[in-house]
Each structure stands twice: as C-alpha cells, then as structure tokens.
Amino acid sequence: MELNPEIGSVAVVVLTWNSADTIERCLESVLRSDEPATLVVVDNGSTDGTQDLVRTRFPDAHLIETGENLGYAGGNNVALRSELVAGHDYALVLNPDAYLDPAAVRILRSRMDVATTVGASSPIIYYSGSDVVWYGGGDIRWTDGATMQHHQDRRVPDLPKHPRPTGRVNGCALMLRMTAYREVGGFDEQYFLYYEEADLSVRLVERGWHLELVPSAVCWHANSTSTGGAAGRVYQYYMTRGRLRFLDEHAAGRASKSAVAWLMGYELWWIARTIGPRAAARSARMRVRAVRDFQRKRFGRASL
C-alpha cells in the first residue's frame, strides 16, 4: 500500500527493555495495522534476548540498540531524533506490553491530519484482553501531582467516539506531531521514567498545542510489566521523584506539601492493605530515597 501524498506519514516507535515476553504481540499488532507505517524498535540494553527475537521474528522492523538503559525519555528520544523517524509527520510511541486495534494508527493519523492544532493524542486504552478502561483521557491534580485517568476500571461500551480534549496524553500509547515534538525539545531525560509524558503534555499546551483523546482508536495494555508493578522498587522510586520534580517545575503556587504527603501516605496504606506490610515498608524506603535525591537534585538514571 502506498501513502497518499496528501496525508501524513507515520512511524511507530516501540521502546523495549527486557520485553521478550510481551513484545511479539505488540509488534504483530503494528504489522496488522491497516495504515502503512515505519516500525522502529529501540532497545534499551536488554539482557533477555529481546534484540535477537526482534531480528529473527520481525525482520522488517528497524532495530536501534542503545547498549544501555536510557529510560523511557532517553530511549524514545533516540528513536524520535533518528533519521528513521525524523522525516515522518507523526510518530506513535507505543509500550512493548501494549497492542493495537488494526484501525488505531489510521484513526489517530487521520484525526491529526485535520486537527492541525493537536500536538499529541492518545487512543482509549483498555486493560489487556478486556473491555475495562485503563485510560480514557486524563488530567493532573495540581495540589498533589496525581495523574488522574478518566473512566479507569469501568466498562464503558457506550463511551462517545468523538475526539475530545484531555489534560494529558498517556505515554503507553501517544501519537506525536513531529513538528510539535521538536518545538518543545522532546522528552525531558532528567525524569528518566514516569512523569515525562505529563511534563511533555504541559510543555505542549504552554506552546499553544492541544491534546486529545481519540476513543475510536483502541489500544490494550498489560501495565507495569517491566517495572515490577505499583509496589516495585523502580516504580516507587521514579514515580515519587518524578512527581516532586514535576510539581516543582510546573505547579508553583498550586501544589500543597501537605497534600503531597497525604497522597504518598495513602498510597503506602493501600500497598500495605492490598499487598502486605513488607511491601509497604520497602516502598517507604524507596520513597525516602527518592525524596532525598530530589532535594539534592539527583535526576536521570539511579542505581536501584
């Protein structure tokens, strides 16, 4: 299939880190897309054979190997700034544990073709293998930095299909207008992991770009497969440090230290109740370390 020169061209960027257990379904869904797209896989120094799997099973994919873990922001920037992607009008950034409906790329691209003020958009995202919503649009709660996800954990078969504004796009699956991406300087690599898409969302809006949810485009996600889940060390450290940095940069006069402390305490209580007190104690230790590193302005990758 050849692209009509009057419509924009798309690259799909899949960032991997030890993703051998999940990436096949992801890449197969991209290749089943009814929209032609350049498929780029950027590997962040996997040690589980992800690179060999991609080379063997998906020879049409362009594989970039960074040789080290650059995080979500750094790894995606490598691909988005490469010659493989830079010449395209749009890039769909997709997690390796996510997979797409065949029409998703086309629907997102066609919407951005006509909505020329939209700098980034996300599809609706369901939990893997279900019709339960994980992300149906989102906002930022500026008092404590919580990244809210609309309709989460609900079945919404009658959710309106028309595109609508969203307060933030979701890093699991987001289509970027490449001119907008370059205008704001890409993802901020000081975040390394988590909050980088919230930060990008804010910077896009500050430059006059709009953000959209496009519910007629559908994605599924097995969330947190590479970071150990909500109680994992990686998640707890980077989510805490990222939240504090995000509020420090974007929420002057709006954030409340007491609200942030209450939120983090509530989250630890939830972990203790649902997973156990040991998990909560481990999470608390990682959060203390994240707070200290934030205060010392130690950003980027941390040795955990």
Residue 203, in any domain of the structure = yes
Among 221, 251, 274, identify where a domain stops.
221
Please return the burial class of 87, using the count of CB atoms within 10 Å of its CB with bins 0-12, 13-18 and 19+.
exposed
Do 156 and 252 belong together in one domain? no
pLDDT interval class at 160 (50, 70, 90): confident
Please say whether the dihedral angle defined by the alpha carbons of residues 54, 60, 65 and 71, taken in this order, is positive or negative: negative
* Residues 239 and 230 sit within 8 Å (Cβ to Cβ): no
CA–CA distance, 174 with 213 (Å, rounded to integer): 9
What is the pTM assigned to this prediction? Answer: 0.92
If you average pLDDT over residues 286-303, what whole number do you get? 93
Tell me how many domains the chain contains: 2
Residue 205, in any domain of the structure = yes
pLDDT at 134 over 70: yes
Q: How many angstroms from the chain centroid is the CA of residue 32?
A: 22
The domain that holds 59 is classified in CATH as 3.90.550.10
pLDDT at 62 over 60: yes
* Domain encompassing residue 271: 233-295
If you average pLDDT over residues 219-246, what whole number do you get? 83
Among 221, 256, 277, identify where a domain stops.
221
Higher pLDDT, 227 or 234: 234
Residue 3, in any domain of the structure = no
pLDDT, position 227? 52
Residue 33, in any domain of the structure = yes
pLDDT at 216 over 80: yes
Please return the burial class of 263, using the count of CB atoms within 10 Å of its CB with bins 0-12, 13-18 and 19+.
middle
Do 64 and 199 belong together in one domain? yes
The percentage of the chain sitting over the pLDDT mark of 90, rounded to a whole number, equals 84
Do 135 and 185 belong together in one domain? yes
- Using one digit for the tens of pLDDT, what is the confidence trace for 117-131? 999 999 999 999 999
pLDDT, position 303? 86
Do 255 and 129 belong together in one domain? no
